[in-house]
Structure 1
Amino acid sequence: MSQEGAEVSRRKLFGWAGAGVALAGAGAAAGVGVDRLGTASASTSTVDFHGEHQAGIVTPAQANLHFAALDVTTSDVGELRQLLREWTDAARRMTAGQQVTADGAVGGAAEAPPTDTGEALDLPASQLTITVGFGPSLFDERFGLAAKRPPQLVDLPVFPKDKLDPARSGGDLCIQACADDPQVAVHAVRNLVRIGFGVTQVRWSQLGFGRSSSTSRAQQTPRNLFGFKDGTNNVKAEDTDVLRDQVWAQAGDGQPWMAGGTYLVARRIRMHIETWDRESLAGQEQIIGRSKGSGAPLGQTGEFDPVDLDVAGAGGVPVIAEDAHVRLASSQTRGGVRILRRGYNFVDGSDGVGHLEAGLFFLAFNRDTRTQYIPMQRALSSKDAMMEYVQHTGSAHFAIPPGVTPGTSWGDGLFA
């Protein structure tokens, strides 16, 4: 057997063993056997890289995230196009559980740097997905792409109460790697960054753990660092009509090359958890608009009971307060507009004054950020009672191109 064949077999063997242990008791709740709208088969622990849409959007959210935004340092359009081809090829292999190249970490010449960094050797693919996007700043004069900029890819405004750090905002390109093993996700970003040396450089990055939303009905609703179930009413992979209308870009939206793609909003949200922890249970529930235990909307009994904004309590006062997070973010309040959330918790040490640097790395996909995310965030920033306990410290916006087929790359539509 060739070295490459032995490598694939060995990786699959580990994948079968890991999946068998992890999934034996989880069954359908873990998304076993779901097609590409779901995860991967239990036998390989892989998610199909090819398809109409990029993986890592409606794919049931994995346990870990490594996200990086990069600046393009070259002004040579040919180098940028070649990089996107190389990134696509490398991602195609890594998501299949292979090393970046056939020679990989140990098979090449001893006198040369390895073509794979090696920290994912012997690890299964862990349902790795790699999703790539283009920021507004990529469409400047450097590469002649101004006419290709989608009208939906606006520069995000500074919202009320934002305290944005330029070092945690923006970027020409983004890489989102999600996996059930954190080392697999880190390995993916590390190797794409390595391939981009001399063409790109990292502007900022973020590690995330403990998904803060569900993107499939097969998943249980997780809890955020405030202890509340998060993303109960999120758009799910099974909501194909909603995805078509609210998430996936269409050919008639302004840039045909984006058909099948979407727009990603990334916001780093610092949560002042020490202040929150001193708030009463009743106060916390009023701020969120849900029961902390069951996750049910106030006035209801079950987590998935519809939010009823008209339920009144004593004296006719609405049970869900006018400044409750649930009310302000509800599609009922927003004229039916929805977004697909895919965020993660983070804890980045301490802030130097005795508080944890912790929060939510908010990721959301929508068809038109101008009419979906931006109006919602304006309302939340100015009216949401929860704003006393959170602060947005990073902000970025990316066009996520459609998926690829064998032999094509992420940049093909952009440079066609």
Structure 2
Amino acid sequence: MAADPEQTNPSGGLNRRRVLSGIGVGLGVGAAAAAGSVLTHDHDTGGRATATGGTAPAADGGSQIVAFRGPHQGGIATPAQDRLCFAAFDVTTTDRGQLQQMLTSWALAAEAMTKGLTVPGDAGDLESPPIDTGEAEGLKPGNLTITIGYGASLFDSRFGLAGRRPSQLKALPQLPKEDLDPGSSDGDICVQACADDPQVAFHAIRNLRRLGTGVVAPRWMELGFGRTSSTSPAQATPRNLMGFKDGTRNIDAGDAAVMGDHVWIGAEEPQHWVRGGSYLVSRKIRMLLEQWDRDNLNDQQNVFGRAKASGAPLTGKKEFDTPDFSAKDASGDYAIPMDAHVRLAAPENNRGLRILRRGYSFTDGIDPVTGQLVGGLLFLAYMKNPDQFVTLQRILGAHDALNEYIKHLSGGLFVTPPGLAPGADWGAQLFG
């Protein structure tokens, strides 16, 4: 796209501007109106791979644009951005055509917003609300990705989708140490907006919600203010709210072979339309921060099995040293305790089981009853089969020393379909 004075700013990069004709397919006002202890802090979901040539949509460092179309949706293999806005919706219409039309308009709007453009439509009617809410005007795209997913409840009898339900999309079983709030769990549709600018991420969810008026209603939403995993060796390992490095052994999302083995849905899935997609597990996990802050450093390190400052395993000196789970200390005890998070989550101890984590820290302010901080981890993880998560969480929920300091508040399972080819949209993709 050629640059012009309306599209660029002095510091470089694309600015948002009003788009009248859309992004190859115009979205008129009429169409818009009609559309109207998980691996909670899992450092060790797999040894970091170093192969290149992966499947992550490329981000242009100058324009801050991540490709919207391609074999896979952005926001999965994409290097993890700094900010998150995640929302789940319930479908309120009973009209199949309305839902399909909304998803079509969502895809067009999402593609525009990831390019740093405003939601497409006719902006000239002063007697109607603006098509775009406007709070991202003048901001760069911020490497925005918008990832859509569908819950098992969408494939009931309402819209004739029962025959298209992916084979592994079903309610997760009851897992140890969980007491989830149904009102802030699950949903018919989820949207994950990740960006390096929180206003850009929020703007994306807000505008999709507006386009969905009369078709969907928000079920729950969470803002993430700090990523808690790295999905690329080029990224430094971030820290969670407990102060420990998080995601040291996460999958390298640029390794196409590893992603194919553990993340992307493949030929094993009888529903062809979701091959190349992935299953997404979400869990909102509160950290009992005041209780944690009173614990001594030695115990904190034993809980995780890592040194707090360096991130090194208790059997090593550097962050990326491979943990030695057979090593014992002078007293004959295992140097990495048997209930340490790093031991229980390690693929070496789980028959090579791995998942791709893309979690974010969150805070909901202060508990009005106790006066304590309410914050923790919005755990997001992608995998080719939800059994990967269930197997790991059964182990962690039953034995992880971290369980003393966390509470699982809500959760969800969604299928995220593959990326869109040129000219395709989410409505046609879902309904076939």
Match of 1:393 among 406, 409, 417: 409
Q: How many angstroms apart in 1 are the aligned matches of 2:373 and 2:310?
A: 27
- Correspondence for 1:50: 69
Amino acid at match of 1:84: L
Match of 2:382 among 360, 365, 368: 365
Correspondence list, 1:213-228, <5 A: 213-228=229-244
- Correspondence for 1:287: 303
Q: CA deviation at 1:308?
A: 1.8
- Correspondence for 2:9: 13
- Correspondence for 1:306: 322
Q: How many angstroms apart in 2 are the aligned matches of 1:414 and 1:341?
A: 25
Q: Return closer, same or farther for 1:17/1:80 CA change in 2, 3 Å cut-off.
A: closer
Q: Return closer, same or farther for 1:310/1:18 CA change in 2, 3 Å cut-off.
A: farther
Amino acid at match of 1:401: P
TM-score (norm 2): 0.88
Q: How many angstroms apart in 2 are the aligned matches of 1:99 and 1:223?
A: 34
Secondary structure at the counterpart of residue 393 of structure 1? strand
- Correspondence for 1:23: none
Amino acid at match of 2:12: W
- Correspondence for 2:103: 84
- Correspondence for 1:28: none
- Correspondence for 1:100: 119
- Correspondence for 1:193: 209
My pick for the range that moved more, 127-136 or 75-84, is 75-84
TM-score (norm 1): 0.91
Deviations 1:79-116 (A, max 9, x none): 1111111100000100000000154xxx4211111000
Deviations 1:185-220 (A, max 9, x none): 000000000000000000000000110000111100
Amino acid at match of 1:368: N
Q: How many angstroms apart in 2 are the aligned matches of 1:192 and 1:254?
A: 30
- Correspondence for 1:261: 277
Q: Is 1:239 aligned to residue 255 of structure 2?
A: yes
Q: Is 1:406 aligned to residue 402 of structure 2?
A: no
- Correspondence for 2:336: 320
Secondary structure at the counterpart of residue 246 of structure 2? coil
The 8 Å contact of residues 15 and 124 in structure 1, kept in 2 or not, is answered as no
Amino acid at match of 2:100: R
Q: How many angstroms apart in 2 are the aligned matches of 1:408 and 1:307?
A: 46
Alignment identity in percent?
Answer: 51
Q: CA deviation at 1:39?
A: 4.7
- Structure with more helix by fraction: 1
Deviations 1:350-372 (A, max 9, x none): 111110110000000000012x0
Secondary structure at the counterpart of residue 13 of structure 1? coil
Q: Is 1:272 aligned to residue 288 of structure 2?
A: yes
How many residues get paired? 394
Q: CA deviation at 1:5?
A: 8.6
The 8 Å contact of residues 171 and 396 in structure 1, kept in 2 or not, is answered as yes
Q: Is 1:336 aligned to residue 341 of structure 2?
A: no
Secondary structure at the counterpart of residue 332 of structure 1? helix
Q: Which runs of 5+ in 1 are unaligned?
A: 20-33
Q: How many angstroms apart in 2 are the aligned matches of 1:380 and 1:405?
A: 39
- Structure of greater relative contact order (alpha carbons < 8 Å, 6+ residues apart): 2
Q: How many angstroms apart in 2 are the aligned matches of 1:246 and 1:17?
A: 35
In angstroms, what is the RMSD of aligned CA positions? Answer: 1.9
Q: How many angstroms apart in 2 are the aligned matches of 1:284 and 1:88?
A: 45
The 8 Å contact of residues 13 and 63 in structure 2, kept in 1 or not, is answered as no
Amino acid at match of 1:47: V
Q: How many angstroms apart in 1 are the aligned matches of 2:396 and 2:371?
A: 28
Q: How many angstroms apart in 2 are the aligned matches of 1:374 and 1:205?
A: 23
Q: How many angstroms apart in 2 are the aligned matches of 1:148 and 1:199?
A: 21
The 8 Å contact of residues 36 and 47 in structure 1, kept in 2 or not, is answered as no
Q: How many angstroms apart in 1 are the aligned matches of 2:10 and 2:131?
A: 22
Q: How many angstroms apart in 1 are the aligned matches of 2:99 and 2:11?
A: 34
Amino acid at match of 2:379: F
Q: Return closer, same or farther for 1:324/1:91 CA change in 2, 3 Å cut-off.
A: same
Q: CA deviation at 1:324?
A: 0.5
- Correspondence for 2:366: 350
Q: Return closer, same or farther for 1:299/1:185 CA change in 2, 3 Å cut-off.
A: same
Secondary structure at the counterpart of residue 361 of structure 1? strand
- Correspondence for 1:151: 167
Amino acid at match of 1:44: S
Amino acid at match of 1:376: L
Secondary structure at the counterpart of residue 411 of structure 1? helix
Q: Return closer, same or farther for 1:9/1:150 CA change in 2, 3 Å cut-off.
A: farther
Q: How many angstroms apart in 2 are the aligned matches of 1:15 and 1:195?
A: 32
Amino acid at match of 2:225: F
